[in-house]
């Protein structure tokens, strides 16, 4: 006789715990999940977000403003969204910004032109915020 939450093995040993229960509901390991649609026109490891192509800019000077960044990155396409997070304690920029473009071409042009450039005396670095893992990392995911 086994109680709820117990599993009996063939040798008469009763095992208790979450790992020995048979799943009745919830997420199963063989379930199929929706995937984000990829833009096949893109090349490299860049991954499209839900609404557009987001680039991350690091090394942003603490006194940079949204207007300065918006004007600078508008040269490469229409900036759909710009996030410039501030430190609550100091009120200064945290040192990074996120810029969203509608197309891969605009985002790639901004990265190519601005990566390693100077802004307010600081060297900024630009790259895609979302990237696909390398092929060998994808194949080994979840296995140890």
DSSP annotation string for the chain? ---TTEEE-TTS-EEESGGGSPP-SS--TT-----PPP-TT--TTB---SSSEEEEEES--TT--HHHHHHHHGGGS-EEEEE--B-TTT-SB-SEEEEEESSHHHHHHHHHHHTT-EETTEE-EEEESSBPPPHHHHHTTT--
Domain residue spans in the chain? 53-128
**CATH fit for domain 53-128, picks 3.40.50.720, 3.30.70.330, 3.40.50.2300, 3.40.309.10:** 3.30.70.330
pLDDT tens-place values along the chain, 144 residues long: 555 555 555 567 777 777 666 555 555 555 665 555 544 444 457 777 777 899 999 999 999 999 999 999 999 999 999 999 999 999 999 999 999 999 999 999 999 999 999 999 999 999 998 877 766 655 565 655
């Amino acid at each position: 006789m086994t109680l709820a939450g117990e599993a009996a093995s063939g040798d008469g040993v009763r095992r208790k715990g979450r790992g020995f229960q048979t799943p009745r509901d919830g997420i199963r390991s063989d379930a199929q999940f929706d995937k984000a649609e990829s833009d096949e026109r893109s090349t490299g490891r860049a991954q499209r977000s839900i609404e557009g192509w987001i680039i991350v800019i690091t090394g942003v000077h603490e006194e940079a403003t949204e207007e300065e960044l918006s004007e600078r990155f508008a040269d490469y396409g229409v900036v759909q969204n710009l996030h410039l997070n501030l430190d609550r304690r100091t009120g200064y920029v945290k040192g990074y910004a996120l810029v969203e473009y509608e197309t891969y071409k605009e985002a790639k042009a901004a990265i190519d032109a601005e990566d390693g450039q100077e802004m307010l005396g600081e060297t900024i670095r630009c790259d895609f915020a979302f990237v696909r893992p390398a092929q060998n990392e994808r194949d080994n995911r979840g296995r140890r």
